[in-house]
Amino acid sequence: MIKVLVVLGTRPEAIKLAPVIRGLQQHGRFSVTVCATSQHREMLDQALQVFGIRSDWDLGLMKAGQDLIHITSAVLEGLRPVLAKLSPDWLLVQGDTTSAFAAALAAYYSHVAVGHVEAGLRTNDKRAPYPEEANRRAVAVLADAHFAPTAWARDNLLRENIPAECIWVTGNTGIDALHHVIHRLSQDPELSALASRRFQFLDEGKRLILLTAHRRESFGPAMEQICWALRDIASARSDVQLVYPVHPNPNVRGPVERILGKVQNSGSSAQRNLPAIGFLWLTEPLDYVSFVYLLQRAYCVVTDSGGVQEEAASLGKPVLILRNLTERPEGVQAGVARTVGVERTRIVSSLSRLLDDNQEYGLMAAPTTAYGDGKASERIAQALADTPPGH
């Protein structure tokens, strides 16, 4: 048996690694151990539950006011006894979080081979996104197997002198997760009905705009600009409704509640609450099934999230990206996504154009397989089965 330690710390990591964990478990050649750093505690647990996965180790590192130095040092120290006891053949990390970087570094220090899921994404600006761009570039130096989601990501790695034989183009495992939940919603009427009841406050006659904004580089004035843009749209238009699941980080929640209003419960009682402004609904973070349900129902998506860019584009939902640079240019190249930055008037004008110009909307509302076909996890499992650690 090939011993694999999977380390994850945030909700996006859990969503994108859950299909990999399931794929390794079903393959037959792997002994899989899951270690949660708990960089994001509650949202991590929610995501794992969707896929029926529980962590075998929990470092329990989350604390109020945690910063990047605390997370990095705590993951390094917390993984020391785990690596010593398990002596895994491979340690798998995903993406660009601080947990992923620190776990890869701990594995390297312990002479354990590192597999990097979602390798090769680049903006080539180490401060945008911050700290994710630096994290993923550092993991690339430490990794022994690079699972690139696209050919563009593979080419980035080749330009950094990563040997071609260490790179596999697999598709993005986030699309595997998306397909899994969509299938469950389509096959389980009770689950679908539950998701629908959570959003009875929505008006079937209004187009739904789904929003997410939480990235660290947007903290401060940029987050305020985003909030004012949302307020402008919600106040000026009666033909749309906006749903914004608000990240719990005080740097996000502070300006959101100051400019837009109180965050409300997104559970079954939410329909009794009044929207914050116009038809703008501010909710607590959603579980993944509820989020996918809303994503399917959305007219368009406004986000600074990398994973949401992929999910929305795969479903043919036009995406306005609240950033000046994206490490996922495939959606922009396919015409289904557009970077609009974080300046108030540009966000408002870009969203208004998408809402008012049917031809513009039609050009962007085309599903793309640029980010994967739902079989990335199978390819990763097979690559690990065929690749002895250290080769």
Active site residues: 96, 118, 132, 214, 216, 247
| Phi and psi at residue 220, to the nearest 5° | 95, -140
Whole-number Å distance between alpha carbons of 198 and 271: 8
Q: Tokens 């974080």 belong to which residue?
A: 342
Amino acid in the structure at residue 105: L
Whole-number Cα distances in Å, 183 to 187, 311, 369: 6, 14, 17
Task: Render 25-56 in DSSP notation, one character per residue.
Answer: HHHSSEEEEEEE--SSHHHHHHHHHHTT---S
Q: Which two tokens stand for residue 254?
A: 């502070």
Query: In which region does residue 316 sit, left (phi positive, over 0), alpha (psi from -120 to 50) or beta (all else)?
Result: left
Q: Are 307 and 323 in contact (CB under 8 A)?
A: no
Whole-number Å distance between alpha carbons of 202 and 279: 9
Whole-number Å distance between alpha carbons of 100 and 104: 6
Task: State the sign of the Cα–Cα–Cα–Cα dihedral 51, 53, 59, 63.
Answer: positive
Whole-number Å distance between alpha carbons of 9 and 38: 5
Strand partners, 281: 243
Whole-number Å distance between alpha carbons of 317 and 242: 15
Query: In which region does residue 118 sit, left (phi positive, over 0), alpha (psi from -120 to 50) or beta (all else)?
Result: left
